[in-house]
Structure 1
Amino acid sequence: MGPSCCPPARGPGILLALALVLLWLGGTWVQGTCMPPERLHYAELKQEVSTVQSFPVGAVVSYICRPGYMIIPGKSLTRTCGEDSQWSPVEQFCTERKCKYPGELQHGFINVENLTFGSKVTFSCERGFRLRGTDEISCVIKNGGVDWNRDLPFCEKIPCEPPPTIANGRYTEAASYVYETAVTYKCDEVPKGADPFFLIGPETIFCTYDAHLNGVWSESPPQCRVVKCENPRVANAKKKSGFGPSYSYRDSVMFECDPGYVMRGSEVITCGEESTWSPKPTCEKITEGGCGAPKITHGVVIPAKSVYNRGESVQINCSPSCTFPDGTEEMTVTCQGGGTWSSSQNCACGPQSSGFTPDINYGRVIDGQKPSYSVGDFITIECYAGYTLHGEARIQYIGENQWVPGVPTCQLSAYVTAIICVAVAVVVFLAAFWVYKKFFSQNGKRDGTPYTAEYKIRKA
C-alpha cells in the first residue's frame, strides 16, 4: 500500500516548483527590459532605434533635435534604460530656433511677442496709411533653418483719385493727392458787365478715407453758379438797410415793420444759393390790447418777445457804459395797449463819444463829420489831389477814440513823386551848367587876357 501512494504525493510538489521557476523567470524578463521611451515634442529617436519595441537594461538611445529646434550646448542627447526598467530622467536638450527680427515698419507698428519657431508677427499702419502686403507672418522651417514665411509688408499713404472738376470753376492742383491733401476751388472770371459766378458749397475739400481704407474726398465739390435775387418786399414793412439796385449771393436786407405791426421771424433776410430770400418774416397787426417789443437803442429787453399783452411789464437794461438820461442803467416799462409803452427812453452812451475828428494829413473828411461821435458813427475820407489813400475811405467809430478798420493815411502818389524827381534833376543840372559857364569858362578868358596885353606891350 505504501509504495503505491508515493507518485500522487510528488505530483503537486513538482507543479509548485515549476510554477515558482516560471514566475521567477518571468519577473526577471519583465524587470530586465524597457519599453520605448516617451515621445518628446522637441526631439526624436535616431532612425536605427525608432522602431524597436523593447530595450534591455543598460541600453542607451540617442536623440536628434526636430526641425525648428537646435541643441542646447552642454546638454546630453542620450537616455539609458535602468535596472528598474525606467529610462533615465530627461532634461530638455533642444530649444526652439529663432527667426531674425523682421525690422522696422515705416509709418507702421510691429506686434512681436517672440521670435521662436512657430511664432507669429502682426503688422498695422499709422492713421492715414494702409498696409500693402500681408498683415501677419510666421516663423517656419526654411532652407534647413527657420525664417519668415512671407515678405514684409509696407505702409503706403492712402491715395485719392484726382478731385472732381466743376463747371465754370477750377481747383488748385497738386503733384499727388494723398491723405490730408487739400484743394481749393475758385470760380472763373467773367467778362466785364456779365453776371459773376458765385462759389456755392465748401471752398476747400481734403483727401480722407472710408471704413475700408479707400481714399475719398471729405465732401462733394462746390458749384459755380450765377445767383440773382429779386428786390425783396415784406408786407407792412420797409427796408432798414441793404438798399441796392440788384442783389446777389449772400446779400442781406434788414426790414422793420410799420407802426402798429410786429415782426414774426428774423428782421434780416439773405439771398440764398437758389436765388431766393430766406427766412421770410411777416409783419402782423398789433391788437388794441397788445404791444410790440419796445425798440431801445444800446439796450436789451427782458424777457424778449415779439408781442406783449396790455399790462405786461418788461425790464430794459442798458449796454455797458450806457445809461438812461436820469443816470440809471435799467428801468421797467409797461404795455398800455395799442402798441404804446409807459416810457420810450433810449440808453445814451456819452462816455464813449469822441470830441474830435481824426487828423488826416493831406486829406479831409467829406461825409459824416460832426463835433463829436457816438459808437457806430461813420465818416468818409478823401485825399487831396496828388495824394493816394492808403486804407479804407469809410471808417466807423467804436469808442475810446478808436476807428475801424483804422484811420487811413494820404501819401504822395507815385506819379507825382516821379514828376518831382525829374524836376529836381533838371534844376540840379541847370544849376551845375550855370556854375560851369560862370566860373570855368570865364577863368579861361581871364587867363588869355594878360598874355594878349603883355604881347601888345612888347610889340609896342
Structure 2
Amino acid sequence: SLRVPVTRQPILCLLDFSDRTHSLLPFSFAIQDCDMFPSIAHGSYEDVSPIFSFTTVVQYKCDEGYVLVGEEKITCRNSHWSSLVPQCKAMCLKPEIKDGTVSLDKKQYVESETVTVQCDSGYSVVGSPSIICSENRTWYPEVPKCEWEVLSGCEQVLAGRKLMQCLPSPEDVKMALEVYKLSLEIERLELQT
C-alpha cells in the first residue's frame, strides 16, 4: 500500500489516467476557510472565484426595487473577507403631493431617507409632515395631504368654491353666482323689514 508522509503543507493529488498511477506532489497555498458565504436580505450572491485560484470571490446583486450599498464583490483572503457584506436598501418613489412639495426633490429615495412635506400657500398638511422611506419600499407614516385652509369668516368662499367645482360649464357658474347674489339681496331686504 502507498504511504503518504505527514507534512504541514497541503498535498495536491494529480491523477494520470494513462498509466493508472497516482502521483503526489506538494503544493503550497493558503487554505481559505470561507465556505459560508454571507447572505443579504432582498438580494442574492454568486461565487465568481477565478478558476485555478485559491481565493474566494463572491458577487452580490439586489432584487428589483432595491439598491446595493457597499462593495459589489468581496474576497476571502487568509480566512477573512476583504470588506463588510453589502446591503440591499429599499428604493421609494417620489411621493405624489397635490398642492404641495417635498423638501428633497428626487425621483427615488433610499431606505431610511426622510423628507418633509410642505404645502402651498393657503393649504395645510393633514397627517405627518415628516415621512421616511421604509424597508418595504413604502413611505411611513402614510404620505400626508395638503388641504385648503378654511379661515374664520371664509366659509362662504369655500362653499362657493365647492359649488363652482361641481358645475360643468362657465355659463352654469355665472347663473349660480347670479342666483346666489339675488338670494343675498333678498336676505338683506328681509332683515330691513
Q: Under TM normalisation by the shorter chain, which class is it? A: 0.3 to 0.5
TM-score by length of 2: 0.44
TM-score normalised according to structure 1 size: 0.21
- Greater relative contact order (CA < 8 Å, ≥ 6 in sequence): 2
Larger radius of gyration: 1
